[in-house]
Structure 1
Amino acid sequence: MTARGSGLGPIDHVAVVVHDIDASLPRYRELLGLEPDAEVQTMAAQAVRLCFLPTGPSPAARIELIEPTDSESGVARFLASRGEGLHHVCFGTTDLAAELARLGDAGAELVDRVPRPGAEGPVAFVHPRTLSGVLWELLERDSAEQDRRAR
């Protein structure tokens, strides 16, 4: 299933930026009953620590907690200026390059014109000025995974 007129699948995850993942996880466990689906990982290239919290049985959307590891990173600047909260919304796609071209042709302001490595595959971001002040992430998934998540 894709969004009408695009190659985007359903929402993959919603990312929340936090000061400290280890301090935040107990609240997500206590209040929402959510557990990470894997250990907290560090992505040095993005200067973040992160984990994913499934909101239901797979392929349900997930919450991604992200914590900056470098005070000069974009995520750290975001946290300093806006505080903890919503960072981005992510959609899956099977053809990231085609979606970037389609969005660029439609007038979207792209943060990334070419994909970059993400925690689960190639990703690219669309600037918040493009649509309602929200940072949008596109995550490339293979066709089988995208179909599974679309059910």
Structure 2
Amino acid sequence: MKPSHIEHIGIAVKSLDEAIPFYEKVFGLACYAVEEVAEQKVKTAFFKVGQTKIELLESTDPEGPVGKFIEKKGEGVHHIAFAVNDLAQKLTAVQEAGVRVIDKTPRKGAEGLNIGFLHPKSTFGVLTELCEDPSK
């Protein structure tokens, strides 16, 4: 597998209302999208830095993955996402190579991307997301 680029870095925050102005004022970035992903119990906000995006993640449910993350570890880097082609094949290949996955098959994520997560126990403690833009 060879990702084309870092698609985004996910950062768990308690409040988008507090975090968005920080990224806008301190870094001069523009929040270009806010979206709720009900299936993942999260509300997201996106900023672009070159080809890479910053995705802020606010939990919509304390029992959701981001809510549990913040409760256990506090706010901070939640995951790194790599852009790939043929996501289904990549998920199969990593499983065949012995990598533990959270998603055995692609599912829908924010911004219309197909996504699949690799378990941090197989990726040196880093929750890793693979993303594919189905329009490309």
TM-score in terms of structure 1 length: 0.84
Runs of 5+ in structure 2 lacking a partner? none
Are positions 1:131 and 2:117 aligned together?
Answer: no
**What amino acid maps onto 2:56 in structure 1?**
L
2:9 paired residue number: 14
Q: Quick one: which amino acid aligns to residue 42 of structure 1?
A: E
TM-score (norm 2): 0.93
- Write the mapping of 1:1-151 to structure 2, written as runs, cut at 5 A: 6-38=1-33, 40-56=34-50, 60-119=51-110, 120-142=112-134, 144=136
Q: Tell me the CA shift for residue 55 of structure 1.
A: 0.9
- Deviation >6 Å, runs of 4+: none
Rounded to whole Å, the distance in 1 between the matches of 2:135 and 2:21 is 35
Classify the secondary structure of the residue corresponding to 1:8: coil
Counterpart CA distance in 2 for 1:130 and 1:9 is: 21
Instruction: State the distance in 2 between where 1:30 and 1:125 align.
Output: 32
Higher strand proportion, which one?
Answer: 2
Task: Name the CA shift for 1:137/1:33 in 2 (closer, same or farther; >3 Å).
Answer: same
Letter in structure 2 aligned against 1:131: T
Between the aligned residues of both structures, percent identity stands at: 38
Count of residues paired in the alignment: 135
The alpha carbon displacement at 1:137 in A equals: 0.4
**Partners of 2:37 and 2:20 in 1: CA distance:** 18
> Counterpart of 2:4 in 1: which secondary structure?
strand
Q: Compute the RMSD of aligned alpha carbons.
A: 1.3
Q: Conserved in 2, the CA contact under 8 Å of 1:115 and 1:124? A: yes
Matches of 1:54 and 1:70, distance apart in 2? 26
Matched residue type, 2:128: W
